[in-house]
Each structure stands twice: as C-alpha cells, then as structure tokens.
Structure 1
Amino acid sequence: MPERYWVIGGEYESTAFDKLVDGTERILGPYRNQDAAKQAWEDIAVATRSICTARFTIVREGSAFA
C-alpha cells in the first residue's frame, strides 16, 4: 500500500498548543508523497502566519504519534 500524508492542525487556545479552538480544525490531503504534503504545509503556514496560535504538522498515515 502506498504511503499517504496529511497536513493537520488549526488554531489553538494558547501557545501551549494543547487544545484546538472548536471549528478551526483543518485536515488537508491525502498527499501521495512527503514533498506534496510539505508544499501544502508551507501554503497553510504562510496563510496563517499572523495567527501566533495556529500550528500545522505533516503526518504519515499509519504512523504512531502521541
């Protein structure tokens, strides 16, 4: 099965980045490779750069994270 990548995140309640503000969650993808996901991540990071509590990350489908 080919790998798939997702860009996930949103606006958090504080810079502790432990709780998302309801309704701001974003899931972008799937992307077939990490380069495509990185481009999507860069696009959303630039679009939200004025929001200091916004954070997005790239996740590989099937990977474990805490």
Structure 2
Amino acid sequence: MNKSRFWVVGGEYTSTDFETLIQGTERVVGPFETRGDAERTWRVLSEDHRPQAQVRFTIAHEHLTMNA
C-alpha cells in the first residue's frame, strides 16, 4: 500500500538564486494528507512574505510505502 504526505518547506535564501538558505530561517510545515491542504498553506506563507524577494517556499511530496 502506498501513501503520500506533503510538506511546505522553505525560508530566506542568501540570494535570489535560491540555492543557500540562511541558517535559522528554515521552515517546515506539515505533514498534510492532501496536496490541496499543502497548497493552501503554501499560498498563505508565500503571500505573507511577498515583499521579501529572497524568501521562497515550495511543496515537497513524500511517498510512503506501507507493508501489509
């Protein structure tokens, strides 16, 4: 049986290349059972940090394999 979880991850980066997070700004929110739930949280976080060009969040999808 396969199951999925979704996480919203991100924070403030050192530049708009979005390669290196500034230590201490990392955020991980979740898990969410559906992508839709994660997207709603992602939208709120993204809108809250809109004026900050170096802050970015994304949705991570985790596949879980359950043994029967």
- In terms of fraction of residues, the more strand-rich structure is 2
Structure 1 residues without counterparts, runs of 5 or longer: none
Counterparts of 1:22 and 1:4 in 2: how far apart (Å)?
25
Residue in 1 that maps onto 2:25: 24
Structure number with greater Rg is 2
Residue in 1 that maps onto 2:62: 61
Shift of 1:2: 2.6
Structure 2 residues without counterparts, runs of 5 or longer: 64-68
- CA-atom RMSD, angstroms? 0.8
Residue in 2 that maps onto 1:46: 47
Q: C-alpha offsets along residues 21-62 of structure 1, whole Å, 9 cap, x if unaligned?
A: 110000000000000000000010011101000010001113
Q: TM-score, normalised by structure 1?
A: 0.89
| Identity %, equivalent residues | 40
Shift of 1:3: 1.1
